[in-house]
Each structure stands twice: as C-alpha cells, then as structure tokens.
Chains A and B, each alone.
Chain A
Amino acid sequence: MSSLMMEMGERAQTLGVPFTAHLDLTYRCNEKCVHCYLDHDDHGEMTTVEIKHLLKEMADAGVFILTFSGGEIFLRKDLFEILEYARELTFCIKLKTNAVLIREVQAARLRELAVDSIQVSIYSHRPEVHDAITKLPGSLKRSVNAIRFLKSQGLKVVMANVLMTENMQDYEGVQNLARELGADFTLDPTVSPMMDGDRSTVALNAGDAVLRKLFRDQGLVGNVEEFCSPPVATDEGVLDSLPCSAGHTACYVSPYGEFYPCVQFPLSCGNVRQQRFIDIWRDSPQLKEVRAIRLRDLSSCSKCAHGGSCTRCPGLAFLEGNMRGPSTADCEKSFARTGVPSVNLQNKMLAKEEKSFPERLVQIQLVPAIAGSRLSGMATASAL
C-alpha cells in the first residue's frame, strides 16, 4: 500500500469515514470449492434497484474503494449495469472472481470501465489439483484463459492462492504461473470457518510445517530474519492501538443487505434494506462496540508477547466465540514465524497436557498453621 493511501486511511479513521467497503453481489457460485465458507443457495439477493440505491448511499458516505465479490459475481446478469453505475459514482472498483465466465468481450468492457484490479482465485498450476478443489472440471484452464484476456487489456490481475492440505505443495507453481501471465500473486494460508459457525473447513488448514516453510521463503516475506525475529515487548502505545480496520474504516454488506464490520466478521450490525447505510455506519451499537476495543481490552492477547506484531483477525476471534479473545489461526502463524508460542497456545498446550494425563491432578491442600509464618492458613498447590 502506498504511503499516501495509508495516510488517507488514517485520515478516514479520524473523520469516521467508511473508506473501503466490500459488497458481495451473490453467494451463488459456479464452483463448489471444498474450503468455501458460504451457503451458495439464494436466500433473496438484493435487486438491481436495491444495489444501485446502496451504491449511492455508500458514495455519499465517503466510500472510495469498493470491492465487488461473491459467490461468483459474473452469475449476476446485471453485473455490468451495477459496475457502470458504480463507475458513474467514481468508486475505485476492485473485483474478486473465479474468472471462469470472463471472455474477450467481458475483459474489454472491464477495461472501458477502468476497473482498478481483478483478483482471480487460483489454487494450483496443476488442473487435477485446482479442479478437484473447485469441483468444476476445466476450471483452471478457463480461469487462466480469462487472466490472459484481462492482461491483454492491460488490466491489473492478482492471482489469489488459498493454501490448504489439498494444494500445499503448489504455491511455487502458482507463483511461477502468475509471473508467466504478468499477474500479481498473493497467498493466504488461512482457511476460515463457515459464516454460519460450522468449523469443519478449518481442518483443511495446511498446518505448522507448511507455515514454517512459507515464512522462511524470501520470495514471499522479504527479509526472513526480520520477519521471523522474536516478538518485542508490547508497549503502552501498542496496547492502545486498534486491532484492525474492520468497522473503523472498512465494512461489508452481504447479498441480502446484512451489514458486518468485515466479510470475515459476521457480527450483524443492521440491514441496508431497513436502514440507511450511513445510519448503520454511525449508530449501530454493534459497530460502536467493535470500535471501542483496543489491544489492552483483549483477554489473552494483551498479555501476549506477540501483541504488537500478531496478525490477529477479530473476525476469526469472533467466529471462535469471543471478539475480544484470540484468533488461534493467527496464534499458530505467530508461532510458526517466531517459534514463540502465544499465551493462547500455551494455555491450549497446558489444557491438552492435563487432558492427556488425567492422573496429574492439581491438588490443593492446607499447610498446617504455624504461628507467625507467612504461610499460615494459605493454600499451596502441588502437581502430583
């Protein structure tokens, strides 16, 4: 991110402006990815008119960077009508798509509309791996063809590689493919729980050994020594810092109008079908609660050595049951990066040990009273 963009983000924070927004146009999808966190049935998507009305409200509220995603956005027959209107409102538009439905004509239209960037999900450079994840035969070939069409129009394409057990050996192949196609490359080693709280997808996460390898890949992280250095002590300034931009300068709206702080933070703050966008942004009690949270308010993270450098996601913490709690996926990343377990991981390890060795009961016993002794009447604990 450019320094000017960061400065604008900080200014938006000061002014209370929703500088970036993520709008999912549909949850329907032509791929059925094994790790997807969405329910793909249509439960009543916003109409074209409703979406245009929302876009106008977002522009009036100050949204500048607008990401359209899904589901697969190209399944919306009104997609280009929505994009045209969004460009009339001078948003900076970013798209997330599997690109399977993009041909030359769609790529040319995206160029005419001056779309800023298109992120395409690519799981592997090998069709048998990619297509097994998307469950759509031929999908890698179609997505790669689409990237070629987009690049031939001079558009900025980002290939997004979500890493999981199924494709954990393939990120270098995807990175090389991106280089060959002239696309940028981004890698996400986190598989999220489903939005309804079902955590079965989390089992697809690639695990500690893969994370360690990623974090020591200079091509991904830059200076490995610096990136993997042990955490420094958390100071007062860090304790007063904000956990992330969700709800502060960023927000998410679902295809059904539900307003969340972030796509990965399904805390309902209102619905744009019932309330104005700006009213939810300014007045939602849930958003106010999210905004009030500082690092010092987080139960275990405030005491953790990784507090100042952790990538803790408040949405993932929320999905674990407590938005003031830790996000274990990020604790695991901090551990893989530095070799230093977080407070949360230490607690989990301790709990696991106790579970594994039930005979190691912690026994509380009273020490016989000794006149004048400071131990008098106090309990001591001993592990037997």
Chain B
Amino acid sequence: MTIETSSKTYVARSPRVAARMLGQEMLVMSGTDSTLFTLNPTATILWQAADGATPLHEIVERRICADFDVKPEEAMRDARALTEDLAQHGILLTSEQPLATASPAKEPTRP
C-alpha cells in the first residue's frame, strides 16, 4: 500500500502505538506488529505536533522551519517522506480532512 501526502494533509498520532521520550529521541512501538522505531529530534517534533487538526505544511512552517536552519521546500519534502513512511507502518494517520485523535480510553465498547 502506498500512502501519498500533500502539504494540506492532516496528520495524527495513531492511538494504537506506545511511545516515550528517551533522551533526545522518541521511541515508538507499533500496536499492530510491535515494531519499534526511534525518531530523531526533527521527526519527534513532527510526531508531537501531529494532532490531527494541524495540516502538515503548518507543522513544517511553525515547528520545523522556525527552529531549524532548513529551506521550507526541503523541510516539506522531508516531512512528507517521513509522514508517508510512518503512515505505512501505521504509527501516523493521514487524511485530507482534519482527524479526530481517538484515545483508546474514549473508544465505546466496554466489557
């Protein structure tokens, strides 16, 4: 499955992952197959900003270009590649519409 993004794509953290900061890196484990990922500081910023309500281009402009010495088009290209990669593994959700970030605690079924 190929996932394509644009600058207007909305991104959200999957509620099915486990995640924790360890030093300067974010450790993320897929809830689907327990694959473990480490995100570098830039990827961590993108991950933390992926609230489902902010489009990718805004995250890049406000959170990455503002803090790193990088050209906007280059940052956007890297952010899209990263987003597509993380979405392929099910740890980021993408949509052309804003996403509700469902917490597992908010899901309806109860025993």
Q: Does B81 contact A (CB under 8 A)?
A: no
A5-B5 Cα distance, complex, nearest whole Å: 30
CB-based contact A92/B18 at 8 Å: yes
Chain B nearest CB, measured from A53 CB (Å) = 16
Q: Does A108 contact B (CB under 8 A)?
A: yes
A19-B107 Cα distance, complex, nearest whole Å: 28
Q: Which residues of A contact B22 (CB under 8 A)?
A: 8, 11-12, 15, 17, 19, 62, 64
Q: Which residues of A contact B110 (CB under 8 A)?
A: 80, 109
Chain B nearest CB, measured from A232 CB (Å) = 32
Q: Which residue of A lies closest to B25 (CB)?
A: A11
Q: Which residues of B contact A90 (CB under 8 A)?
A: 17-20
Q: Which residues of A contact B2 (CB under 8 A)?
A: none
CB-based contact B20/A116 at 8 Å: no
A15-B104 Cα distance, complex, nearest whole Å: 30
Q: Which residues of B contact A105 (CB under 8 A)?
A: 109, 111
Binds A, one of B27-35, B51-59, B60-68, B70-78: B27-35
Interface residues of A in 251-275 (CB under 8 A from B): none
Evaluate whether A116 and B34 lie within 8 angstroms (CB atoms) in the complex, with A91-B18, A109-B110 already known: yes
Chain A nearest CB, measured from B19 CB (Å) = 4
Q: Does A156 contact B (CB under 8 A)?
A: yes
Q: How many A-B residue pairs have CB under 8 A?
A: 70
Binds B, one of A22-30, A81-89, A197-205, A354-362: A81-89
Q: Does B44 contact A (CB under 8 A)?
A: no
CB-based contact A88/B20 at 8 Å: no
- Return the contact of B38 from the options A8, A80, A116 (Cβ within 8 A): A8
Q: Does A209 contact B (CB under 8 A)?
A: no
CB-based contact A64/B27 at 8 Å: yes
Q: Does B98 contact A (CB under 8 A)?
A: no
Q: Does A38 contact B (CB under 8 A)?
A: no
A159-B19 Cα distance, complex, nearest whole Å: 26
CB-based contact A8/B36 at 8 Å: yes
CB-based contact B36/A5 at 8 Å: yes
Q: Does A379 contact B (CB under 8 A)?
A: no
Per-residue B-contact encoding for A127-160, CB less than 8 Å = 1, 0 else: 0000000000000000000000000000010000
CB-based contact B36/A112 at 8 Å: no
Q: Does A2 contact B (CB under 8 A)?
A: yes
Q: Which residues of A contact B16 (CB under 8 A)?
A: 114
CB-based contact A15/B103 at 8 Å: no
- Return the contact of B109 from the options A4, A15, A108, A117 (Cβ within 8 A): A108
CB-based contact A92/B105 at 8 Å: no
Interface residues of A in 237-294 (CB under 8 A from B): none
- Return the contact of A88 from the options B23, B27, B38, B104 (Cβ within 8 A): B104
Evaluate whether A114 and B111 lie within 8 angstroms (CB atoms) in the complex, with A4-B38, A11-B22, A84-B104 already known: no
CB-based contact B104/A106 at 8 Å: no
Evaluate whether A88 and B103 lie within 8 angstroms (CB atoms) in the complex, with A62-B21, A80-B110, A114-B17 already known: yes
A65-B34 Cα distance, complex, nearest whole Å: 12
Evaluate whether A84 and B36 lie within 8 angstroms (CB atoms) in the complex, with A64-B27, A90-B19, A114-B16 already known: no
Q: Does A93 contact B (CB under 8 A)?
A: yes
Chain A nearest CB, measured from B105 CB (Å) = 4
Evaluate whether A87 and B105 lie within 8 angstroms (CB atoms) in the complex, with A11-B22, A62-B22 already known: yes
Q: Which residue of B lies closest to A108 (CB)?
A: B109
Q: Does A113 contact B (CB under 8 A)?
A: yes
CB-based contact A92/B104 at 8 Å: no
Q: Which residue of B lies closest to A93 (CB)?
A: B18
Chain A nearest CB, measured from B74 CB (Å) = 28
A235-B21 Cα distance, complex, nearest whole Å: 35
Q: Which residues of B contact A12 (CB under 8 A)?
A: 22
A85-B103 Cα distance, complex, nearest whole Å: 10
CB-based contact A109/B34 at 8 Å: no
Chain B nearest CB, measured from A25 CB (Å) = 16
**Other 6 A-B pairs with CB < 8 A, given A17-B22, A62-B20:** A2-B36, A4-B36, A5-B36, A19-B22, A113-B104, A116-B31
Q: Sample 10 A-B pairs with CB under 8 A, ordered by A number.
A: A5-B36, A8-B22, A62-B21, A63-B20, A64-B27, A65-B18, A106-B111, A109-B111, A114-B16, A116-B34
The 7 closest A-B pairs by CB, nearest first: A114-B31, A92-B18, A84-B105, A114-B16, A87-B104, A64-B20, A90-B19
Q: Give chain B's interface residues, CB within 8 Å of chain A.
A: 15-23, 27, 29, 31, 34, 36, 38, 103-105, 107, 109-111
